Structure 1
């Protein structure tokens, strides 16, 4: 019986791991579907701008720059769509651009902010926020300025339904939306009673085992909310201790400043690479040669 019990336990464990893997794949596929219109828009812009033969050639430009600079494809596509187009005759997209040193990230334990990727920084700020608030449930969102909302990037300890429901949140109906609108740390002492939530949002949060939360804006030097980190607690809570609040606000400002630097530096480097490669292919098209073999 011992051997059978062991095998049964292994089978159950294997099935659970497979189910978790399949759920993650489904979430990734849904995220791709949500991103597809934006990426298609960016492909169309690049195809027209650089006179590329097809949308696949434009996608190749995006993918190569995304991989080279470790910038998410969606982030790069959004930058292509919303950044002022380059001078058609200019060799550089951003002539005269001044490069600035990256802000410190010592509050979240990142030693080399100039070479850190955005995913690692967001993961670090989530870990730090959970440590300060003493919980193991939380998530990080990035501001989607085109859609006027927040898009989830990282999460831990939260249910699958929670992650799917809050994959994107608009300007109202949640505590994180309120924190983004006010650009201020927002505490919900009891999810069941706080009027900030819509009924559907409240039900989803409670079903995930959260009864309280702290939402901390990631704020740029100019005071713009570029993202949000939220900690969820199993029981109703009181106000944060002043030392906790001070630490969270300082962390939010430090990471927000880094995100702004990343947008102005790494993302623009990736766009500059797209421009250089696009111009090269445009020239090749004019001369009748091909270098993309």
Structure 2
């Protein structure tokens, strides 16, 4: 994971360290731009990026998710229903295309309320690279967001929860064998003393990531019923994400290609 890159003997300099998620995003977007240029011969790299960026912004989806969907050569299939799954933690959703940002924000708020945690984060699996990216967080500082921006192994509570598809509880992060010294130092600086990570599995058994709740005290009192509720919410969100990727994302990919094609035609006409 990211802490290992710096070794166990020191802490990553958060002033100069580039979060791995930024590198992953850049690589994914670069691949999507290349794909658009291959599919639309009359478009340059700048216009291909603009087509991608504007669709992502218009529909409130992260650029790396849309870029990954553009890169995928084979469309996903196998969804059983075109109906949007109901989310128990988000009643009365607004009309129009659903927003991943809103869903993640509501899941985070519910996680904090159910566990009385000081902070929380949703880590989602990257469609192309396989590791976990911080999708959304609440109450966390820049140090945590950089150190754990992208985790590609079980070297964190969220990573282990996702890899094993089980709830992972760490009552004292300072003595947990999961973390390197660099990780422990960052967690200490952030005031994080304990963690609970809950996996997000859809109805097919696929794991989408984990909900990570963090505490400012060691051995926090956590209501078991609240953990069960959060586990149910996490799985419901995973089912929703599967539905979104199978029904909404293809429409957004089509919109990107239309925008790229239109840009290419304008460029040809201008020439």
TM-score by length of 1: 0.76
CA-to-partner distance for each residue in 1:73-105, whole Å, 9 max, x for gaps? Answer: 2211111112427xxxxxxxx99x986111111
Task: Say whether residues 1:194 and 2:165 are aligned partners.
Answer: no
CA distance in 2, matches of 1:289, 1:200: 53
Structure 2 residue aligned with 1:148: 130
Structure index of larger Rg: 1
User: Shift in Å at residue 122 of structure 1?
Assistant: 0.7
CA distance in 2, matches of 1:166, 1:160: 10
User: Gapped runs of 5+ residues in structure 2?
Assistant: 1-15
Structure 2 residue aligned with 1:63: 53
Bigger drift between 161-170 and 33-42 goes to: 33-42
CA distance in 1, matches of 2:214, 2:91: 22
Matches within 5 A, 1:202-213: 202-213=184-195
Task: Say whether residues 1:73 and 2:101 are aligned partners.
Answer: no
Task: Say whether residues 1:256 and 2:246 are aligned partners.
Answer: no
Structure 2 residue aligned with 1:9: none
User: Shift in Å at residue 213 of structure 1?
Assistant: 0.8
Pick the aligned partner of 1:164 from 146, 155, 171.
Answer: 146
Structure 2 residue aligned with 1:12: none
User: Shift in Å at residue 50 of structure 1?
Assistant: 1.5
SS of 2:212 mapped into structure 1: strand
Structure 2 residue aligned with 1:84: 74
CA distance in 1, matches of 2:60, 2:109: 21
SS of 2:199 mapped into structure 1: strand
CA distance in 2, matches of 1:129, 1:98: 28
For the 8 Å contact 1:217–1:252, the answer to whether it is kept is: yes
| Aligned pairs, number | 256
* 1:116–1:62 Cα change, 3 Å: same
CA distance in 1, matches of 2:47, 2:245: 25
SS of 1:107 mapped into structure 2: coil
Bigger drift between 52-61 and 253-262 goes to: 52-61
RMSD of aligned residue pairs (Cα, Å): 3.2
CA-to-partner distance for each residue in 1:23-47, whole Å, 9 max, x for gaps? Answer: xxx9999865552222122111111
For the 8 Å contact 1:150–1:168, the answer to whether it is kept is: yes
CA distance in 1, matches of 2:160, 2:19: 29
CA-to-partner distance for each residue in 1:54-89, whole Å, 9 max, x for gaps? Answer: 11221232123223433222211111112427xxxx
CA distance in 1, matches of 2:221, 2:205: 24
User: Shift in Å at residue 280 of structure 1?
Assistant: 5.5
CA distance in 2, matches of 1:182, 1:239: 24
User: Gapped runs of 5+ residues in structure 1?
Assistant: 1-25, 86-93
Matches within 5 A, 1:111-122: 111-112=93-94, 115-122=97-104
User: Shift in Å at residue 129 of structure 1?
Assistant: 0.4
SS of 1:196 mapped into structure 2: coil
